[in-house]
Amino acid sequence: MTRTLVTGGAGRLGRSVVRALADAGRDVVSVDLVTHADLPAVQVQADLADAGARTDLFERYRPDEVVHLAAIPFPGAAPDDETFAVNTGLAFGVLNAALAAGTGSLLIASSPTVIGYGAPIGWQPEYLPLDEAHPTRPWNGYALSKVAIEGLVAMAARSAGDRIRTGAFRPCYVIAPEEWSGAPTQQGHTVAERLQHPELSAVALFNYVDARDAGEFVVAWLDAGDRAPNGETFFVGARDALVRDSVPAAVETWLPSLADAAAKLGDTESLFSSAKAERLLGWRARRTWREQLAGVDVV
């Protein structure tokens, strides 16, 4: 049985990734600072910033695959210099440990924030919907750390591609299964409130992804083999935007500087394209807010 080690496996995204991997028949090891009840994995509490603990962990479990999610999770959660140092240090340490353990595949979480939206000094997209070819323009330590991690993935493909297959993915605003039922999201408000007050979602260009869909992307990438070229990065998002109004109209209201670029988008079309994942991996997000919130009052 394939052994897959997931760092940050007890987190909001990690829990769904672990379950998707277990459902796909993997022997899953979750590594986190905490544990979570009913997670279908061997759960190990460890600080991956501790080089000795990291080495011991990889020597003990010798994973065939690694999914690296552990990180300071969003901008502002820590000072910029700390966020950059922690996130890049963890990723580099996990890559080196995976190489030493003979791991065959390593997938690392990046972020759509690398694109640069929300910058305090005018940001404009070159085109919409955004895809992986769009230039990155990080403006905080978190986004810069994710750009560096994508560079690390590409570097590993060039320097160690005969020893390990690497990839990065940019999951959009992650909504965990329980959050559809009213549990608070990462920002503290509910999904329904995010729809009631579009300004809450506009700062992220109305992007989102169900954590279970992101978990299914992880399985698709791991199963893809050579169909996904080594060192590639993927957007992973829902097909629609997290807003009730017509998307061009919502952009004109809440993001007026982007109105011209969004004018040709469909009424529900996401501002982020996951077409590359569909083309190379056969993955497409299956869950939408309209289905998940059916019967929930979002007026």
Q: What is the CATH number of the domain that holds 75?
A: 3.40.50.720
Residue 176 has pLDDT above 80, yes or no: yes
Instruction: Say what percent of the chain tops pLDDT 70.
Output: 98
Question: Quick check: bond before 184 cis, omega within 30?
Answer: no
284 exposure class (CB count in 10 Å sphere: 0-12, 13-18, 19+)? middle
Least confident of 21-25, 74-78, 142-146, 248-252: 74-78
Distance CA 58, CA 17 (A): 19
Residue 299 has pLDDT above 70, yes or no: no
Bridge partners of 269, per DSSP, are 240
- Domain assignment present for residue 30? The answer is yes
What mean pLDDT value characterizes the chain?
96
Q: Please indicate, yes or no, whether the overall pTM of this predicted structure exceeds 0.75.
A: yes
Do residues 271 and 241 lie in contact, with contact meaning Cβ atoms separated by under 8 Å?
yes
Name the domain count of the chain: 1
pLDDT at res. 102: 98
Coil vs helix vs strand at 87? helix
- Domain assignment present for residue 297? The answer is no
Other Cβ atoms closer than 10 A to 191 = 25
Average the pLDDT over 8-33 and give the result: 98
- Domain assignment present for residue 128? The answer is yes
Average the pLDDT over 239-252 and give the result: 97
pLDDT grade, residue 42 (50/70/90)? Answer: very high
pLDDT grade, residue 112 (50/70/90)? Answer: very high
pLDDT grade, residue 226 (50/70/90)? Answer: confident
- The conformation of residue 132, written as its DSSP 8-state character, comes to T
Distance CA 168, CA 94 (A): 14
- Domain assignment present for residue 299? The answer is no
pLDDT grade, residue 7 (50/70/90)? Answer: very high
- Domain assignment present for residue 298? The answer is no
Residue 231 has pLDDT above 90, yes or no: yes
pLDDT at res. 296: 61
Domain that residue 101 falls in:
3-292
Distance CA 103, CA 131 (A): 29
- Domain assignment present for residue 27? The answer is yes
Bridge partners of 66, per DSSP, are 5, 106
- Domain assignment present for residue 10? The answer is yes
Which tens digits make up the pLDDT trace of 198-208?
A: 999 999 999 99
- Domain assignment present for residue 56? The answer is yes
Instruction: Say what percent of the chain tops pLDDT 90.
Output: 96
